[in-house]
Amino acid sequence: MHPWEQIRFAKGYLLGDKRIALAVTGSIAAVEAVKIARELIRHGAEVYPYMTKSALKFIGKDALLFATGHEPVVELTGRDEHLEDFDAILVAPATADIISKAACGIADDAVSTLILGNLRRCIFVPAMNAKMYENPILRENMDKLKKYAEILEPKEEEGELKVPSREKIAAFLIHTLRHELKGKKILVIGGAGYEKIDDFRIVSNLSSGRTAVLIGEIAYYLGAEVHLMLGLHSSHSDFLPYESFGTVEDLIGKIDEMGNYDAIIVPAALPDFLPEKSDGKINIEALKELRWKEAPKFLKELRKRYGGVIVGFKAESGVSEEELIARAKKRKEEYGLNMVVANDLRNVKYDENEVIIMTDKEEKIKGSKKEIAMEIMKRVADELNR
């Protein structure tokens, strides 16, 4: 077994039937090509490397042969390598030279000829000095390319425009190729909400936000435009934008801004009770006498003012499965939810869970949190595409 086969599918099967050409050009960022190739393989892709001769100054052919299991194409031969059938051509790194050649239809080596024959399947990941990137002629060429191909913007660091992380590149490629949620806008609200006791203390919970982030990532993989809203959290995504929220009332105050989403998924752990807030810092005796009131229910308020798909979560502990299902059904009916994901907190581990997904039927799902996130988003896609 070749080393690339040992890591294939380590992160899932979303690229399991895809053949990807990785076109490497002459930038110091070419040293990242092995990591990029391996990341695509972990998602299931079979990767075929192409290299410009200038790329050989920065990375050897054997490195990409090891990474992918395929001999890199540096020169075209009678095998017509530029006519190979690929699902996508990832040009990473993409230099100013290859961008301008592609925009002008120039084909004078293996990489540029591959691009010329497959422009609409190309994804360019620029990497160069910031001054070069702002050159008006290059910008014109990039604007021309955007009509026919995808461009993943680089990250700015130390005066250079560098390739994004391999995770972000792989996510963008998957997002480009998958269509289950293409054109849909998804909001995921997660993490721990909190309420203030005084100006220094809060009451909250141990939610990490991991489930919300994984659901958001899967939604993005499947083609959706995704936005995260996170309370207190210890998990985040390298490629999803997010904003923060604090209290339940913070969230309720943002409902009118949520109307343009096709679906809102809410695994957030929100407080059920609000302490009577005091100014300053109260003493221990005042803490003992703290008074509480029931918190407003975000999902209930959301349904009053939002007509799209809502997925709620119901977590309990120490109840029977029958009682868990009964409480989840009540939540679904009372709040007018399209789906409820119910679980017993005793079954929750860092990366594993067991849930009951309730739509018009009940389905028990057990597995990694990523696998469960995928099952949730498959059902959301089904709901949105009816």
Say which range, 18-32, 94-108, 335-349, has the weakest mean pLDDT.
335-349
Label residues 273-299 b or e (16+ Cβ within 10 Å = b).
ebbeeeeeebeeeeeeeeeeeebebbb
Nearest to 172 by CA among 14, 375, 383, 371: 14
Does residue 288 have a pLDDT over 80? no
**Average pLDDT across the chain, whole number:** 94
Say which range, 50-59, 136-145, 188-197, has the weakest mean pLDDT.
188-197
The answer, yes or no, to whether the previous bond of 164 is cis (omega within 30 of 0) is: no
Give the pTM.
Answer: 0.95
Whole-number Å distance between alpha carbons of 61 and 25: 12
Query: Chain centroid to CA 271: how far?
Result: 27
What pLDDT band is residue 48 in, cutting at 50, 70 and 90? Answer: very high
Domains 3-177 and 185-384 share a fold: yes
Nearest to 376 by CA among 248, 260, 270, 217: 217
Does residue 274 have a pLDDT over 90? no
Domain ranges of the chain: 3-177, 185-384
Q: What's residue 197's pLDDT?
A: 86
Please state which CATH number belongs to domain 185-384: 3.40.50.10300
**102-158 residue pLDDT tens:** 999 999 999 999 999 999 999 999 999 999 999 999 999 999 999 999 999 999 888
Whether CATH 3.40.50.1950 fits 3-177: yes
Whole-number Å distance between alpha carbons of 45 and 4: 10
Whole-number Å distance between alpha carbons of 252 and 232: 17
